[in-house]
Structure 1
Amino acid sequence: MIYKDSEVHFNISSQIKRSITANIQFSTQDIDTAKLTFSLTKDGVPLPISQATHGKLFMRFADGSKFYVNTEVKDALGGVIFYVLTSDQVTHYGTVQAELYVNYDNGQKLSVHKFSFEIDRALVDQDIAPVAEYYVDDFESLKAVIQEMADDAEQVLAELQKKFENLDNIETKDGAQEKADAAEAGAKAYTDEHAAKTDNPHKVTKAQVGLSNVDNVKQASKADFDGHVADTANPHAVTKAQVGLSDVDNVKQASKAEFDTHNSDNTRHITADERTKWDGGQLRKLTDDSGKRTQVADGADLLTLSTGFYFAVGNTVQNNPTTNDSTQFTYDVIESDQGRKTIYAWRTTDNTLWHATVIPDTAFKGWKRVITDDDFRKKTFVDTYDFDNSAFTATEGVVTKIKFGAARADDQSEYDQTKSEITLKNSGLYLVRLYISATAIPSNSDIGFICYVNDAQYQTMGYWYPSKSTQTNVVFLQQKFNSGDKVTFHIFPKVTGSTPSSVSVKSAFLTMSQIR
């Protein structure tokens, strides 16, 4: 459907509110397209209307027509209701005075706000004059409208009586009063009888209830009045026509088919299943009004957050999984009935995930980081198994860097063959295996193997006392290293003066793997 939609925002409070002039203008040619949408808030959040029986809209048009109708729900959780003007209503051009109400199932009622809007008279409708009419959606409202019409008639009669207060003939004034009282009683009895008919439809006009002539009441001249009071043959009789009720007998009742059509209109009336669904809806806000995550206030404690979806910069909140972290995090908090809550924290820059559990009256046990398969793939593993390009000579009494050949495996591209150096990308515990095959080893040699970090001696791996001039040795090291460490390995030959005074290494290879 296509609508000429207009949205009005109302905040419900007890503060003084004056009627507002909404910046809304419809045309008498906006047939079934003139739509009023109301967004209702209270205390800064959408007004809950899932428990509301209905919204009510009262409209008083420029020609005196009055409509008291039910609105429809557009968004029960968002506090949005609407009403589409009927093809009859848009014909009543001019300024429309209106007021919105909300009725709840428990009997509570809210007056939301008074406002006004305009209906412009289209050029094609210039020669059409709408008939003043009334429309109500329930029997009690219908009765109130008819009573209001009767009150209008009483007011006219009271004004006529006041015109003759200065007449000298007190007895004649009393007689006129009795006639007016009788007319008033007759009018009220008749309208009450009509209002009691529960099978009556909703729509009546002034003409239908016999009040179309009230607007044309003329003031009698003194001569007319003197002639009337001198009529002793019929001193008290007042006809329906004299009080403007001559058309009451012509009130038209809607057919059963028309009533059934209205009653089965599920667009304007919700079903029992729909009401049950709305009443059972979740009322707790989990995001902000736009459906996005809510930002955590600076200095807030993550462990005290209620159920919802949040975000913040890590170093602006308390109890973040990391410290001094200026990147953005997102947080999902779920509470249980026992007061416990589960919190998930994501660092958005690298998608690292932590989780924690908060238990009432129990010390916080900290965050646990979730290890992924990607974490395992990013662990260090270097294998320099290359016998043909790793030969070198180590001089007696000199600490010499061990030369390794090309890498057979280097998962993180950490190995530099030209320097025989590994620059670690991860902090953790590592296992190192060093293989040395040497020839022309002096007898009684004392050979040490040393691990260097950042060009400084870090850890002695072991000692070798070869018994033959040609021999192979393997040493191991399990040690923690930090991200960014530059790791190299060295050999330190000590000899007893025998010749030769150096050690010839035929081949060397290294395996370095991150354990955790």
Structure 2
Amino acid sequence: MIYNDASLSFEVTSRTKTNIHTNIQYSTRDIGTAKITFKLAKDGDPLPISNATHGKLFMRMADGSEFYVNMEVGDALGGVLFYVLTDDQIRHSGTVMAELYVSYDNGQSLSVHKFSFEIDKALIDANIAPLAEYYIEDFEDLKADINKTTDEINQTLNEIKAKFNEFENIETKAGAQEKANAAEANAKAYTDLHTVKTDNPHKVTKAQVGLANVDNVKQAAKTDFDTHVADNVRHTTADERTKWNGSQLVKITNDIGNVLVSIGDTDDFYTKITQSGRRFGTFYSTGKAANAASTNSTRGFFHMTATDSNGLGTFGYVIAVDWQNNMFTNYLDLNSGWQGWRRVLTSSDLSPAWNNVTLINGATQDTNRPFKFSVSNNVLMLRGSFGTLPAIGTSVAKFTNKPTQLVDFVVPTIGSYGTARFALTTDGDLRYDGMAANDSASVSRVSFNIGIPLW
């Protein structure tokens, strides 16, 4: 693809964010090519873009039109986002005021910077031809307009012609009076003749005259009744009635096909399910509900097979799927209660993808055994090597996957041998804490092959 690309670099900071008047200028003819690329940094380093990070761009056009759109990721590790203006947006010429935001799934949001750019109206889009009432983009449009104008002229001529025809048919007052007098004379002669007739000119019968004395109701013939009784399409048979009476009588959705049970932020998942009693049903739950399967919203089904004296479910199971296609199961037993959520592992969990670790603060990759990471089933796995250790207490890498508490561990070293001490902090920093006791600090590289739980 070919783009008219403009690049802006922004630092995410709490310092004064004055509006930046950029020298970016597009044309209203930059259709599908007007691209703005943003390079975001935090504390001097690229701002990592994860699946939980969302770039948003707000634009107020010169004519007052407003657009609030989602950005696309250009380089997740390099903090690069971009947006290509749509065909409708690029036609709003003039100065565009814009502001860039970054939001996260946990509810946090950052205002990165305000800026402005120009959309210049191309000559082909400008109203510079005072003799032309309409904008004609190509010959076919011109041809269509000419044909339309011709049809309108012909219609007007036909209407004028019809008016002249009406004028030709207009007669004088005297002529109209003469015709009216003749019509009146003819009508009177016909009426006088009809009045003196006594031979029943309309052929009225006695039956017609006596209809008011009887019920004018048509009775169906016996054959019609017999046909109706034998019609099994209109009547329910005994077998059909038995089948319908024995069918499933408990709904699994609401009346319009949505979920049967809705579980909100302030609800308890277990309570809402058991309150449904003995049944098979569907549900929706937010990720904030107590005892929810996931911090993401989930949908699924449940089956309670028994109830207590209060009508609450006592035995059954639940299957939930969140919007990231992760599946969870849970089981309720009267004696031991809910067994707890278990996530169903997929092939991608069992065979995760490995990614190169971005090293910082002077740490260097080992080209033959690159330092890589993978995340599977809430475990951060590290393998490979790097050399040139930084000063003690310095971070060598930054991960977006963070443990809930500090994790200390050691890894072997190559060179003078020994072990090096590391820690993964709750901020996601992989910190070098020095060599183990009595080990040499002179090493050529360190070797990782470890899994770190993140719960």
State the TM-score, normalizing by the size of structure 2: 0.36
Say which one has the larger Rg.
1
TM-score, normalised with respect to structure 1: 0.33
Q: Which has the higher contact order (CA 8 A, sep 6+)?
A: 1
